[in-house]
Amino acid sequence: MSKIMINGGVFSKNDEELIDNVKAVYKDNVIAYNLNGITIKITTFPDKLLITRENDDMKLNLEFEENKRLVSKYLIKDLGLNVKVETKTKKLIMNDNNLKVEYDLFMNEEFSDSFTFNLEWSDL
């Protein structure tokens, strides 16, 4: 397990969430950190990326594989409601100290927005 410092963000036409000098833990291809009360885990596989965002109210799993549409779930905990979420990955780049994914998000089969997620990290 190593401690790392991460920078980057999630960007869309309507919103942005900056990740600026956030401490994280990197172990077994999983980066884990907390941001604004949300626990975020990023798991890398050879050709795929999984992002899990969770707090007391919700749990969102997003899967990414370049040039594929993948179905995931968005759980609203207090309602026990699962919403179908689908990602269409346009670009996925994973290197030793950074990653970038460009994707379209669909909720209940309707287009929601286009996003770019990028993350860079270095050892503490």
- Sign of the torsion angle spanned by Cα atoms 77, 79, 81, 60: negative
Q: What is the model's pLDDT at position 1?
A: 80
Distances (CA, A) of 123 to 21, 81, 84: 12, 39, 36
Are 49 and 94 in contact by the 8 Å Cβ rule? The answer is yes
- Cα dihedral 20/121/44/112 (nearest 10): 30
- Cα–Cα distance between 46 and 40 in angstroms, integer? 20
Quick one: tokens of 124? 């503490």
- Of the candidates 31, 29, 28, the residue with the CA atom closest to the CA atom of residue 6: 31
* pLDDT tens per residue across all 124 residues of the chain: 899 999 999 999 889 999 999 999 999 999 999 999 999 999 999 999 999 999 999 999 999 999 999 999 899 999 999 999 999 999 999 998 999 999 999 988 899 999 999 999 999 9
Q: How many CA atoms lie within 13 A of 41 on its CB side?
A: 12
CATH topology classification for 2-123: Lipocalin (2.40.128)
Confidence (pTM): 0.93
